[in-house]
Structure 1
Amino acid sequence: MSVAVASASAPARKALWKNLGVQVVIAMILGTLVGLLFPSFAAQLKILGDIFLRLIKTAVAPLVFLCVVVGVVSAGDFKRIGKVGLVAMLYFEIVSSIALGFGLVAGNLLGIGQGMSATTAASGVKPPSAAGAPHSTLEFILNIFPDNFIGAFARGELLQVLVIALIFGAALLHLKESKRLPIERGLNAISDAFFEFIHLIMWVAPIGTFGAVAFAVGSSGTAVLLSLIYLVLSFYAVVIAFIVVVLGGICAMFRINLFSFLAFIKDEIFIVLGTASSESVLPRLLEKLPTYGCSKQSVGLVLPTGYAFNLDGTSIYMSMGILFLAHAYNVPLDFSQQLGILAIMLLTSKGAATVSGGSFVVFAATVAATGVLPLEGLAVLFGVYRFMSIAIATTNVIGNSIATIVTAKICGEFDESVLARTVREEMA
């Protein structure tokens, strides 16, 4: 009798096919099959992925603004904000440098690009122009500060939106409480509405994933994939090693179960794998990480900042891409030259989120800045960039999520009881 009552009161498990992660995986498989079997038709499905990403991007900048402003006001003073920001920036610089070095070491050991010079003319696809990329430290710093309040949102300049949000939050703190509280409540209500907006868009995530994957496979074809398969597989292997060894080591230091956390954000990982865009899950992570134990203030400040300053996947891609070009075109780079290029990449990798075109455009700017590597090789790498960008975006998302948790723990912004409650609910 008691067993019957217990079973009746237990919540019914959601059907497996209703799980968003499962739907995205199925969409990826179907997209791959359509791309291989019907390449001409698949190349036209790019519009499905583009529509999904456009819808997501409409909410990214406003959500970042709202989360940061609310976080600043909730913190109540800049000492707390300053501590979180300082710790986060130190963490970003250290881990980004490790990622760049990790990519250089792996590229040298694996010998990527050696013996592949015959494939340099295989791709006729022209890479995007790198003219908009920051070419100097002063230009990069200037680009952080907006010249137009609305323009920063319209262009999707996350760094500029962060600056606006911090100043706006500071302005609210200077208001009298009677004036500030109604504005704060209004911002919270608008933030909730934007999260619901994202939930509705996520219903079409599998369709967007299907279109994006079908286009990538159908438009590139097997010839490009076969000619550069060693580079692609090597990159994926290095990325996995970085996540397990480097990020896993960081997690162990701060008592974070890496694989348990990856399971916690598995839906977001599947979405990124399908869309090859880290922006597609930023709104979901802003909502989800507080349920893992991080304070909303730390998540709202650290996570969006990490999207500009903590691009681990981009750093590894740039390091390995540089060595691929050097090997493929027989350009010798000694240890001191590689260190010099690493210093350049420490600057240019920070511009990936502020330049239209993302990681590849910034990589192109880095190649041009070296002055010794052939620009012709960019067309070859651009042919498989779509496939490598999947691993780049996934690593960026995992790295930024872990950075947020680590920063929250260091700054006392992490609540173990919230994590314990979430774990119990997941197991129920």
Structure 2
Amino acid sequence: MRSPQQLVDDGPPPTAHKPWYRGLMAQVVIAMALGVAVGFAFPGFAADLKIIGDLFLALVKAGVAPLVFFTVVMGIASAGDLKKASRLGLVALIYFEVVSTAALLLGLVAANLFGVGKGAGDLATGADASQAPPAGEGEHGVTAFLRDIVPDNFVGAFSSGQLLQVVVVAVLFGVGLLSLKPHIQDRINSGLDVVSEAFFGFVNVVMKLAPIGAFGAIAYSVGTSGGTMLLALTELVLQYWLVVAVFVFGVLGLVCLIAGFNIWRILAYVRVEMTLVLGTASSEAALPGLLKKLTRAGCSKQSVGLIVPTGYAFNLDGTSLYMSICTLFVANAYGIPMGIPEQLGLLLIMLLTSKGAATVSGGTFVVFASTVAATGNLPIEGTAVLFGVYRFMSMATAFCNTFGNVVATFVLAKWCKEMDVHKVRRALADPDAFLAESESESESEPDGTTLPAPSRTSPTTVR
């Protein structure tokens, strides 16, 4: 057995290579494949498996709101002063608005080119409106939007299901923390850090159940939508996935190129989390892992703590694509003309309704139904036409939402000089070796065999 000094000289012992089937990504992929098979072979039984996916997402959601709160607060606290935090937040919001608008415009252009919904009038007329979520739940507008982002009380923000409320409370709490004396800030920061780690531990345990949750969710989707409705709307689903791919590898790829990143390397670094998002059709499922991985890669705690949670409320690129394409689908299916003036008005409505959409599966559909109702001239019962295949489209939506925020974190952290560029290059060059090395260093910290992490109040940056 090597002595502590030998550990310092020689580095941590080599990590044993785990069999491929013990990796979370492999297990989720296998579970998804089994879910598809069960859904087609036993559709009645598969429909009852919905509860498995729902329970898994409920467990994840239980830990997400506290994690977002602590991450945002710690991100603001790591800035050291309010001016620095405000600058990063302002740049992030401008970026979010520009990219989200680009997603809405791309969706409208693609919907017009493909002619989505044309020829589906008979299907739309026969739809059962009772299948669609009630539109009243998603009432939107400037007044409603402002009212919804402010919670009635501190605890209510965590039970409301509105992630945006948690972000607002966390920002105010973090700003208040910066106004305290330094020695008090340090004591509070230490306590928050400990509690935050406890919640990460809770979510890590829940993540062990990810393959089971993905199996139930996929089996239910295929079992309930694998028949007539899925076949009738296959064209729309394929077109939507194509548009999402164009946005991810075209628009986001261009953003990465401008910032000096390779989008394929970024995707490889977070492939486990993105596979989980595809399996559960939920952005929240990947949030805990992304918060830890992006910080490990070399993005400062401040940038990760501010950009990722805020992006989950304001940077929903997949939701923007879904809303623009599917709203025009309803209009075309019912023969309602939508010229350029009407589509520009629709764009303005969607710029409001797309903000703060729920990040769990189903939230985008509720907001979509609300948008259709807000237009005043589109039938809300038309949303039922898309309800049968929503699950298949929501996988692409959640993937685009989540990966869009990953890209935003890397890009904004670099532009705002909140990044260890050398460390990021190592992480993206060989993700597996980098993560294995990071885990080994983390495990050896209690023995004092690794160098201490950078101070929370002095994030590592490259200028």
Distance 1:355 1:348, change over 3 A: farther
Superposed CA RMSD: 1.8
Q: Distance in 2 between matches of 1:425 and 1:40?
A: 41
- From 34, 41, 46, the equivalent of 1:37 is 41
Partner letter of residue 426 of structure 1? D
Contact 2:283 2:359 in 1 (8 A): no
Provide the rounded CA distance (Å) in 2 between the counterparts of 1:212 and 1:122.
27
Structure 1 residue 354, shift from structure 2 partner: 8.6
Q: How does 1:286-365 map to 2 (within 5 A)?
A: 286-353=291-358, 357-365=362-370
- CA distance in 2: counterparts of 1:364 and 1:108, whole angstroms: 20
Q: 1:172 Cα shift? A: 1.9
| Amino acid aligned to 1:388 | M
Aligned AA for 1:328?
A
Aligned-partner Cα distance in 1 for 2:431–2:328: 47
Cα distance in 1 for partners of 2:210, 2:62 equals 15
Once the two structures are TM-superposed, the CA of residue 180 in structure 1 deviates from its matched residue by 2.4
- C-alpha distance in structure 2 between counterparts of 1:139 and 1:146, whole Å: 13
Q: Tell me whether 1:184 sits opposite 2:189 in the alignment.
A: yes
Deviations 1:181-213 (A, max 9, x none): 222111101111111111111111000000000
Equivalent position of 2:137 in the other structure: 132
User: Aligned partner of 1:404: which letter?
Assistant: T
Q: Distance in 1 between matches of 2:341 and 2:326?
A: 18
Cα offset, 1:292, TM superposition: 2.2
CA distance in structure 1 between the partners assigned to 2:140 and 2:59 by the alignment: 31
CA distance in 1, matches of 2:302, 2:101: 26
Aligned partner of residue 132 in structure 2, secondary structure: coil
In structure 2, the partner of 1:3 is: none
* Matching of residues 158-169 of structure 1 within 5 Å: 158-169=163-174
Write the mapping of 1:346-385 to structure 2, written as runs, cut at 5 A.
Answer: 346-353=351-358, 357-385=362-390
Work out whether residues 93 and 310 of structure 1, in 8 Å CA contact, stay in contact via their aligned partners in 2. yes
Q: Secondary structure at the match of 1:12?
A: coil
Is structure 2 residue 110 aligned with structure 1 residue 106?
A: yes
Q: Residue 426 in 1 paired to residue 408 in 2?
A: no
**Alpha-carbon offset, residue 143 of structure 1:** 1.6
Of 60, 76, 80, which residue of structure 2 is paired with 1:76? 80
In the alignment, the residues of structure 2 paired with residue 382 and residue 389 of structure 1 have an alpha-carbon distance, to the nearest angstrom, of 11
Q: Which amino acid aligns with 1:387?
A: F
1:12-27, aligned counterparts within 5 Å?
12-27=16-31
**Partner Cα distance (1:356, 1:268) in 2:** 16
Q: 1:424 and 1:258 mapped to 2: Cα distance?
A: 14
Q: Distance in 2 between matches of 1:414 and 1:288?
A: 13
Name the stretch that deviates more: 352-361 or 215-224.
352-361
Given that 2:127 and 2:382 are in contact with CA atoms closer than 8 Å, whether structure 1 keeps it comes out as: no
Structure 2 CA distance, aligned partners of 1:320 and 1:332?
A: 15
**Pair 1:222-2:227 in alignment:** yes
Contact 2:269 2:431 in 1 (8 A): no
Deviations 1:279-299 (A, max 9, x none): 111111111111222111111
- Picking from 249, 253, 257, the partner of 1:248 is 253
Q: Is the alpha carbon distance of 1:198 and 1:309 closer, same or farther for their aligned partners in structure 2, counting shifts above 3 Å?
A: same
Aligned counterpart, 2:244:
239
Corresponding residue SS for 1:376: helix
Contact 2:164 2:356 in 1 (8 A): no
Q: Is the contact made by 2:268 and 2:431 (CA closer than 8 Å) also made in structure 1? A: no
What letter is aligned with 1:131?
G
Q: Give the gaps of 5 or more residues in structure 2.
A: 1-9, 435-463
- Secondary structure at the aligned position of 1:131 is classed as helix
What is the CA–CA distance in structure 2 between the aligned matches of 1:163 and 1:236, rounded to whole Å?
A: 33
The residue identity in structure 1 corresponding to 2:111 is: G
* Residue correspondence of structure 1 range 266-305 to structure 2 within 5 A: 266-305=271-310
Q: Distance in 1 between matches of 2:196 and 2:232?
A: 47
Overall identity of the aligned pairs, in % = 54
Query: Which residue matches 1:263?
Result: 268
Deviation at 1:166, TM superposition (A): 1.5
